[in-house]
Structure 1
Amino acid sequence: MPTSLTVRAAPAILLLALLLVWHVACTALAIPDFLFPSPLAVWHAGVEAFDPIMMHAQQTLLTTLGGFALAVVVGLLLGIAVGISPLVYRACYPLMVGFNSIPKVAFVPVLVVWFGIGTMPAIITAFLISFFPIVVNVATGLSTLEPELEDVLRSLGASRLDILRKVAIPRALPYFFASLKVSITLAFVGSVIAETVASNLGIGYLMMSASSTMNMALVFAGLAVIGAMGVVMYAVFSQAEQRFTAWAHRGAHTP
């Protein structure tokens, strides 16, 4: 059985192993940096452009959090409505599935026409790409309340609102926090997509500018920063999930 120290160190060990393989492959095959930079080249590019990267990363983070916050509010309210009302489910769910099937990059030119180039298209794109998992998970958590339990609560005098507030919503919390971990990573995708097309700030804009000059090391440095921010935000919501829904896991591993 692996020790707790080994389990905690496993991500860092795997990351170092992947970086080593990456570096050895680039060195052995003599791949030029403008095609596929080595980890050392990416590191040097990140150090040299540290201040611009941090400026653009801050913009991307704020944009992502803005779109994500909007997705949480809309997704939670819509998920509750879909989960408790068969009428709303039948009316809205097919439309939401169809809407979610449309590539969100297709909305960016429309958003540019409506709001111009800047932060707003990125916020809206982050919202559009991240609210659907919240709706689905919240609705699933509410709709899986056992009918027998609901019948017992009604026989004890509980109203529909009481059942929703005191039983259904608490039972849906694990689904809700699971959706947050998925949605925050999707929100980064939406922000960067919009920034590559309709912004003059953000990691997406930085990567497009770097790729236009064949500075692939800086492009990969931007990718690394996005990945790091995604991992940090995922960890934040994972900790929140363990704090508020520990009762649902009973000591089991939470991804």
Structure 2
Amino acid sequence: MAQSTDTPAGTPPAPAVPGRFAVRPSTVVLPTLGLVIAVAAWWLATSGLHLVHPAALPPPQAVWRGLTGSAEVLLPALGITTWTTLLGFLLSAVAGVLIGMALAASHRVERMFAPLLVGINAVPKIAFGPLLVVAVGWGQKPILTMVFLLCFFPIVLSTATGLTTTPADLAELARSLNASWWQAFRKVRFPAALPQIFVGLKVAMPLAAIGAVIGEFYSDKPGLGYQILQYNGIGDTATAWAAIVLVALMSILLYSALTLVERLALPWVRATTSAR
């Protein structure tokens, strides 16, 4: 006789497990709602109540006209700034992780160079702008250097912190298995540090966009930073603000992409941590 597949009485149905790439409606609806509220407050402050002079902050409709009217200039500039931001961020990520690993590997190295890194990070980076042009010349080099100066410190700090705060039970497990230093690092310490490393990467991603724009202030690359200066110089503040809005949108998309990479690369984090 065939075995019955009916669920026994009183047994609650098993909860549906969402797919790995499932997107909850709130993931799209809530950010969209926040954007609508921000634009409405912007319109109210500029056009509704006239709290801000249009020369300082043009209303949303003026910025939209500036964006559509200069799209043939701003969209290629967006591509240039996006590429520079990504390239500078990747260079900063590689160098920052390596420097963080060096600091975590040796207390002497940490004591020698940690104060120097803190001092470099404390200097306002815009002060380096004119000096970078003299030091490395025009073009993309000063922009990438500015991105690196802004990005590397949070990545270094998060990497060093993650590698020096390995959970005690995992470290004891590696010792009990007689794992070598490299085996313990590859199998235990570095995977355990990845959530902390991604925190530093997510802090650094918006900073990379800031560094790219600041670097373009002192470069001949016609990115969004260059366009902001040009349009502001001729009094077209609406189009200058349109370029600023594009920088913000670019940063949001890059940050969201990095968050997606984190979720795909670290699937165990959401399963082993409490939900908010």
State the one-letter code of the partner of 1:25.
A
Matched, 1:145 2:166: yes
Quote the offset at 1:140 in angstroms.
0.7
Select the structure that is richer in helix: 1
Quote the offset at 1:21 in angstroms.
2.1
Name the structure 2 match of 1:52: 73
User: 1:13 & 1:155 partners in 2: Cα distance?
Assistant: 52
Q: 1:24 aligns with which of 38, 44, 47?
A: 44
Quote the offset at 1:73 in angstroms.
1.1
State the one-letter code of the partner of 2:190.
I
Q: 2:98 aligns with which of 73, 77, 92?
A: 77
Q: Say whether the 8 Å CA contact 2:171–2:188 is kept in structure 1.
A: no
Is the deviation greater in 241-250 or in 220-229? 241-250
Name the structure 2 match of 1:233: 254
Q: 2:35 aligns with which of 15, 18, 21?
A: 15
Quote the offset at 1:103 in angstroms.
1.1
Quote the offset at 1:152 in angstroms.
4.1
Superposed counterparts of 1:33-112, under 5 Å: 33-112=54-133
Q: Unaligned 5+ residue runs, structure 2?
A: 1-23
Aligned-pair RMSD on alpha carbons?
A: 2.0
Name the structure 2 match of 1:5: 25
SS at match of 2:232: helix
Is the deviation greater in 82-91 or in 159-168? 82-91
1:54-103, Cα deviation, whole Å (9 max, x unpaired): 11111111111121111011111111111222121111111111111011
Q: How many residue pairs are counted as aligned between the two chains?
A: 252
Percent identity over the alignment is: 34
Name the structure 2 match of 1:124: 145
SS at match of 1:21: helix
User: 1:35 & 1:151 partners in 2: Cα distance?
Assistant: 60
Quote the offset at 1:157 in angstroms.
1.3
State the one-letter code of the partner of 2:38.
L
Matched, 1:164 2:169: no
Superposed counterparts of 1:193-204, under 5 Å: 193-204=214-225
Higher relative contact order (CA 8 A, sep 6+): 1
Q: Unaligned 5+ residue runs, structure 1?
A: none
User: 2:153 & 2:169 partners in 1: Cα distance?
Assistant: 29
Bigger radius of gyration, 1 or 2?
Answer: 2
User: 1:68 & 1:43 partners in 2: Cα distance?
Assistant: 29
Is the deviation greater in 27-36 or in 9-18? 27-36
